[in-house]
Amino acid sequence: MDSKKEPKSIRLQTRLILYSTLVILLLMALVIIIVEKRQSETIQEEAQKRGVTMARHLAAVSTNALLTYNYVILEQNAERVVLEEEVLYVIIHDKEDKVAAYSQHDEKQGMILTDEVSQKAARARAPLIQPILYGEKEVRVLDISIPVYIKESQEKWGTIRIGLSLEGMSSQILKTRLNLLLLGGFAIVLGILGSVFFARRITQPISKLVGTTIAAAEGDLEQAIDIHTGDEIGELGKNFNHMIEQIRLHRNELEDRLRQITSLKAYNDNILASMTNGLITADSELKVVTLNERAEQILEKTKEEVANRSLDQVLGDRHPLYGMMAETFAQDRVIFQPEIEVKRSEEPMWLTASASVLTDGEGKKIGVLAVFQDITGIKALEEKLRQADRLAAMGTVSAGLAHEIKNPLSAIKTFVALLPRKFQNPSFMEKFNITVPREIDRINQLVEDLLELTRIREHLFVALDVNHLILQVIDLYSEEMKKKQIHFENHLDGTISQIQGNAETLYRAFSNLVINAIQAMPNGGTLRISTGLISSENPDLRIAFSDTGMGMDAETTKNIFNPFFTTKDKGVGLGMALTHKIIEDHKGTIEVVSVEGKGATFVLSLPVAKK
């Protein structure tokens, strides 16, 4: 880490050092001052105490000598005491204040000292301490004088005086001071060193941290903090690392996401651009937000034109799209219009459109989206197809019709043609009378059925039992079924089978279905008929006719209900169409599912309640 990244933590370090140094200095100064003072006081007190003690002691041992004016003893005592380093002089005054002993100044023996200090001392009746300056060098001395009394008397028998040099004391105090100062200095130096060390120790990881975070802020997330102090700062470092790691991961994630989003957006844009559907979105104020390329084409407007302008301005307030989108947004529901007509410059256009509300992540409405497809072409095609279908149907019908009529007609024609030849043949005439009318009836029924097919008939609906009806049908065909080895499986739910309907036509429908099933199983099989509710929510009755017959291919399945649609597999042309119509007249639906070769299932649903 280069130093230009460290400015802040140097300040911190300096501050730390400065403060701790100041504190140390202050503390040390305080301590030194206090200690020195105490020491000095103590030393002084001690010195004084010593002096007083010595004086008292001397006084005690000198009492007898004073009583007897034994100067010799007093001198001996004085000389002994003066040997003490701090004692500069010992003077013993006798009762008359004359000098009985004066250390190292034998010449003064017997004299009276006239200096003020001696006078005061001699006069004092209690221990007296006088600070004086002694000798040539004017040494600071405490003159300690102790008056000597004897127990029984008030009379002062002498004065013991000790000159206690304060030099020793002074030098001791000085020494103490020096020691203290040196120690203090030493401690301060140590303290400073220590604080430098600790400041460094503390701020170094911090500056590392700072550096790393600065780097991280500038985007370099590869730096890891390397702090091993094993304390909170180390923790911090670890956490920082972790955090930076997290940030880095997130950033990578974000970058990925951004990339994703960008590519998604590009993809999106591509989609929008290449969509065959037009897309228009508006915000919550119904101002246009986006318009894709296809929408541009369809609406004949450019993105720039419509950007941020309100929908009604862009589309016109009568425009069906606008109405859809506005309603969608207002009512907060999806609106689907399979066909809307849009006036255009040349020809009207048909669109399939759906609009939905745009929400943000929390479900708040933020706008509305409409997707629409130009189905004009499709519609045209559809029309053509319908036409073709109709034609085809017509064709089928025709073909079927032709087929259905031609057979009976052929029979009739043959019989009629043979009539001239065989009219006298009674067997022939018998066959003629049976067959011809029958065939004529067939044609008639066919016509009737066709009419029926196209007729809009108001059916009379009564309550009837579907199951009952079905069973009747089965009953009718039971012989044939038996003959063809077709088994009937009864899954008729007895609980629900009442509907409103036309018995006659329903009967017809059911019969057709049964016939159809029978025809599908020429080699036998099973016809299962079940009734029941479609589901718990849907009250309509569901009836299923399942056979295990030949089944139908897709083509057949699709066209089974078309009139006269016959394949090689089915003979009845109109039957299924009729069934279909009947069921539709009942407001029900009929569908077929089939697997070729396996069988077919016709599923009917009939409303229980009249719609």
- Give me the amino acid identity at 145: S
Q: How far is the CB of 207 from other proteins (least distance, A)?
A: 19
Q: Check if the beta carbon of residue 445 is closer than 8 Å to that of residue 459.
A: no
Q: Check if the beta carbon of residue 488 is closer than 8 Å to that of residue 521.
A: no
Site pattern 430..449 for other proteins (x: CB under 8 A): -xx--x--xx--x-------
Report the side by side order of strands in the sheet with 288-291: 288-291, 278-283, 365-374, 349-359, 335-342
Q: If you search the block for the tokens 């994703």, which residue do you land on?
A: 260
71 binds other proteins (CB under 8 A): yes
Task: Tell me the window of 104-112, 265-273, 347-355, 527-535 that interacts with other proteins (CB under 8 A).
Answer: 104-112
596 binds other proteins (CB under 8 A): no
Q: Check if the beta carbon of residue 491 is closer than 8 Å to that of residue 531.
A: yes
* Binding positions for other proteins, 128-157, rule CB under 8 A: 137, 139
33 binds other proteins (CB under 8 A): no
CA-wise closest residue to 411 among 390, 391, 440, 453: 440
Query: In this chain, which of 119, 274, 410, 538 binds other proteins, going by CB under 8 A?
Result: 410
566 binds other proteins (CB under 8 A): yes
CA distance 287 to 307: 8
CA distance 180 to 39: 10
124 binds other proteins (CB under 8 A): no
* Binding positions for other proteins, 370-389, rule CB under 8 A: none
Residue 213 tokens, joined: 């975070």
411 binds other proteins (CB under 8 A): yes
Residue number with CB closer to other proteins (255 or 480)? 480
* Binding positions for other proteins, 263-282, rule CB under 8 A: none
Residue number with CB closer to other proteins (283 or 553)? 553
Number of residues in contact with other proteins under rule CB under 8 A: 76
Which residues lie closer than 8 Å to 559 by C-beta, 6 or more apart? 396, 565
93 binds other proteins (CB under 8 A): no
* Binding positions for other proteins, 523-552, rule CB under 8 A: 550
Q: Which residues pair with 546 in a beta bridge?
A: 528, 601
496 binds other proteins (CB under 8 A): no
CA distance 601 to 125: 146
79 binds other proteins (CB under 8 A): yes
* Binding positions for other proteins, 169-198, rule CB under 8 A: 171, 175, 178-179, 182-183, 185-186, 189-190, 193
Helix 503-520 with 574-585: angle, nearest 10 deg: 140
479 binds other proteins (CB under 8 A): no
418 binds other proteins (CB under 8 A): yes
Alpha helices in 275-375 (DSSP H): 293-299, 303-306, 311-315, 320-331
75 binds other proteins (CB under 8 A): yes
Query: In this chain, which of 364, 384, 403, 487 binds other proteins, going by CB under 8 A?
Result: 403
CA-wise closest residue to 500 among 532, 457, 461: 461
Burial class (CB in 10 A: 0-12, 13-18, 19+), 439: buried
Query: In this chain, which of 283, 312, 569, 591 binds other proteins, going by CB under 8 A?
Result: 569
Task: Tell me the window of 12-20, 86-94, 291-299, 322-330 that interacts with other proteins (CB under 8 A).
Answer: 86-94
CA distance 216 to 224: 10
394 binds other proteins (CB under 8 A): no
- Three-class DSSP category at 162: strand
Q: How far is the CB of 459 from other proteins (least distance, A)?
A: 31
Residue number with CB closer to other proteins (129 or 402)? 402
Task: Tell me the window of 34-42, 65-73, 291-299, 332-340 that interacts with other proteins (CB under 8 A).
Answer: 65-73
Q: How far is the CB of 507 from other proteins (least distance, A)?
A: 23
Residue number with CB closer to other proteins (10 or 224)? 10
Residue 175 tokens, joined: 């020494």
Residue number with CB closer to other proteins (119 or 398)? 398
Query: In this chain, which of 69, 310, 365, 533 binds other proteins, going by CB under 8 A?
Result: 69
* Binding positions for other proteins, 290-319, rule CB under 8 A: none
98 binds other proteins (CB under 8 A): yes
CA distance 70 to 66: 6
DSSP 423: T
Q: Check if the beta carbon of residue 552 is closer than 8 Å to that of residue 587.
A: no
CA distance 459 to 450: 17
Query: In this chain, which of 16, 54, 58, 65 binds other proteins, going by CB under 8 A?
Result: 65
Task: Tell me the window of 24-32, 70-78, 361-369, 379-387 that interacts with other proteins (CB under 8 A).
Answer: 70-78
Query: In this chain, which of 16, 28, 47, 100 binds other proteins, going by CB under 8 A?
Result: 100
80 binds other proteins (CB under 8 A): yes
36 binds other proteins (CB under 8 A): no
**Total Cβ atoms within 10 A of residue 533:** 16
Residue number with CB closer to other proteins (377 or 571)? 571
Q: If you search the block for the tokens 């009674």, which residue do you land on?
A: 426
Residue number with CB closer to other proteins (191 or 367)? 191
Question: What one-character-per-residue DSSP string does 548-584 give?
Answer: -S----HHHHHHTTSTT---TT---SHHHHHHHHHHH
165 binds other proteins (CB under 8 A): yes
Q: How far is the CB of 545 from other proteins (least distance, A)?
A: 17
- Three-class DSSP category at 546: strand
CA distance 259 to 538: 49
- Three-class DSSP category at 171: helix
* Binding positions for other proteins, 203-232, rule CB under 8 A: none
Residue number with CB closer to other proteins (175 or 228)? 175
Task: Tell me the window of 168-176, 386-394, 493-501, 588-596 that interacts with other proteins (CB under 8 A).
Answer: 168-176
- Alpha-carbon distances, residue 122 vs 125, 134, 160, 204, 257 (angstroms): 8, 18, 9, 73, 108
CA distance 2 to 417: 122
Residue number with CB closer to other proteins (178 or 307)? 178
110 binds other proteins (CB under 8 A): yes
495 binds other proteins (CB under 8 A): no
Q: How far is the CB of 571 from other proteins (least distance, A)?
A: 6
CA distance 105 to 108: 6
* Binding positions for other proteins, 339-368, rule CB under 8 A: none
Q: How far is the CB of 450 from other proteins (least distance, A)?
A: 16
CA distance 53 to 87: 12
